[in-house]
Amino acid sequence: MIYRRPDDLDFALADRPRQERPGNVLLTTPDYFGVEYAINPHMEGKAGTVDKTEALRQWEAVRETYDALDLDVHVTDGAAGLPDMVFCANQTLPYLDPREGPPEAGRRGVVLSRMRAEERREEVPYYAGFFSEHGYDVRELSDQVDGHFEGMGDALWHPGRHLLWGGHGFRTAPKVYDALSEMLGVPVVLLELADEDFYHLDTCLCPLDEQTALVYPGAFTEKGRALVRQFFENTIEVPAVEAREGFACNAHCPDGEHVLIQRGCDVTTEQLVAGGFTPVELETGEFLKSGGSVFCMKLMFW
C-alpha cells in the first residue's frame, strides 16, 4: 500500500519523484455566476448581492493575467442554473503519472469529484466532457468507496514533487484519499480542517514552490501544522484577517515566481516580496461573496 497515514510519513520530500509544473490553465466564464444558496459561511446573507458586470470585469482581469504569463489558457462556458461553476478547481483533480513516457499515453487524466452539495453536482459532467474531448483519461472513484470529494478544492499537488496534500473535514471525506492514493500511486498527507470559514484546503494552504507555502495555521489542528512544517522548509504565515476576509491563502503561484492574490492583503504581499516572490494583486471581491478567490477560479492541468 502506497498510502501513508499521517503518523507514518517517514519519507523525505527528496525521496519523491520529481513532477513538472502543469502548463495549462482552465477558466470558466462567470455568465451565470451568483450567490443563490449558502453552502459555506461566506455565502450567508449574500444571496442576490453579486454585481454581475463587476464580476465579469474581475474575471477578465484574472484571465488577462494568466494570458500574460507563459501558460496555455483554456476557457469553457458556465452553464445556466449552476452559479458556482465558475469555481473550476473543484470538479476534478488533474494528474500526470510521473513514470517515463509520452504524455499522450494514458499518463494525463483527471479524477472526477463527488460534490458534497446537491446544488453543485451537475457541474461535474461539464468538466468530464471537456477533458474527454481533449483526450484525457477521465476516471471515477470506485463505487466501493463512499464519501464526497471536491477535487482541487481539497486535494493539492506539492509543487515539483509527486506528493498530494489532502484536506478533509467539511467537504471531502478522509477515506477518499485511500482510494486516490491507490489509483494514482501517490502518498497523501492528510490535513484535517478545523474552522468552518476554511472549508476547503485551498482556503488555508497555498503551496508556492517546492520549499514554500502560504499558510493560515489557525485553520489546522496541531498535527496538521506539524505536517505542513515537515514538508515545507519555509512557511509564510498569513494573519487571520487577511486569511478570513481577504482569502490570502486562496492565492496561486503558477510558476514559482508570480503570486496572484486578492488585493489588499498587505502583510502577506510584503512577506511574499521578502521571500523573493512577485505578488500580482487582483480584485476578486464579487467572488469572495461566494467563498472563493483566485485559486478556485482556475484549474491547472498537464
Piece in contact with ligand ARG (CB under 6 A), picked from 49-57, 81-89, 135-143, 274-282? 81-89
> In DSSP terms, which residues pair with 235 in a beta bridge?
213
> Residue with C-alpha cell 499521517?
6
What is the spatial distance between Cα 301 and Cα 137, in angstroms, rounded to a whole number?
12
Considering CB under 6 A, how many residues would be counted as binding ligand ARG? 16
What cell numbers appear for 253 in the block?
Answer: 503561484
CA 228 to chain centre: 16
Piece in contact with ligand ARG (CB under 6 A), picked from 24-32, 93-101, 124-132, 195-203? 195-203
123 binds ligand ARG (CB under 6 A): no
Which of 25, 26, 27, 39 is close enough to bind ligand ARG by CB under 6 A? 39
Please give the residues from 203 up to 222 whose contact with ligand ARG meets the rule CB under 6 A: 203
Please give the residues from 134 up to 173 whose contact with ligand ARG meets the rule CB under 6 A: 153
87 binds ligand ARG (CB under 6 A): yes
What cell numbers appear for 222 in the block?
Answer: 496541531
Please give the residues from 95 up to 114 whose contact with ligand ARG meets the rule CB under 6 A: none
Q: Is 134 a catalytic residue?
A: no
292 binds ligand ARG (CB under 6 A): yes
Q: Where are the alpha helices (DSSP H) in the chain?
A: 52-68, 124-133, 176-184, 222-231, 240-244, 266-274, 285-288
> In DSSP terms, which residues pair with 161 in a beta bridge?
18
Which of 62, 89, 155, 205 is close enough to bind ligand ARG by CB under 6 A? 89
Choosing from 42, 162, 168, 200, which is the catalytic residue? 200
Neighbours of 276 (CB within 10 A): 11
Nearest Cα to Cα of residue 259 among 8, 69, 3: 69
Active site residues: 200, 296
Q: Which residues bind to ligand ARG, rule: CB under 6 A?
A: 39-40, 43, 84, 87, 89-90, 120, 153, 200, 202-203, 290-292, 296
